[in-house]
Amino acid sequence: MTHRILSHPNEMPLSRLYLACRLDLATREVVGYAMADRHRAELVVDALDMSHGRGGLEPGCVIYSDRGSEYTSAQFRDRIRELGLRQSCGRTGSCFDNAAAESFWALLKEEIGTRTWPDRATARAEVFTFIETFHNCRRLRKHKIFGYLTPAGTRERHQHAIAV
Residue 8 is predicted with a pLDDT of 57
pLDDT surpasses 50 at 2: no
Considering the entire predicted model, what is its pTM?
0.80
Kindly report the three-state secondary structure assignment for every residue of the chain: CCCEEEEEEEEECCCCEEEEEEEECCCCCEEEEEEECCCCHHHHHHHHHHHHHCCCCCCCCEEEECCCCCCCCHHHHHHHHHCCCEEEECCCCCHHHHHHHHHHHHHHHHHHCCCCCCCHHHHHHHHHHHHHHHHCCCCCCCCHHHCCCCHHHHHHHHHHHHHC
pLDDT surpasses 80 at 13: no
The answer to whether the CB of 43 falls within 8 A of the CB of 10 is: no
More confident residue, 43 or 88: 43
* Helix pair 41-53, 74-82: axis angle to 10 deg: 10
Residue 90 is predicted with a pLDDT of 72
Say how many Å lie between the first and final Cα of the chain, rounded. Answer: 14
More confident residue, 140 or 150: 150
CA angle, residues 151, 64, 82, in degrees to nearest 5: 105
Single-letter amino acid code for the residue at 71: Y
Interval 55-65: pLDDT, tens = 868 889 999 88
pLDDT (mean) for 31-53: 93
Residue 161 is predicted with a pLDDT of 80
Task: Give dist(CA 19, CA 50) in Å, integer.
Answer: 13
Superfamily of the domain at 4-163:
Ribonuclease H-like superfamily/Ribonuclease H (3.30.420.10)
pLDDT (mean) for 94-118: 78
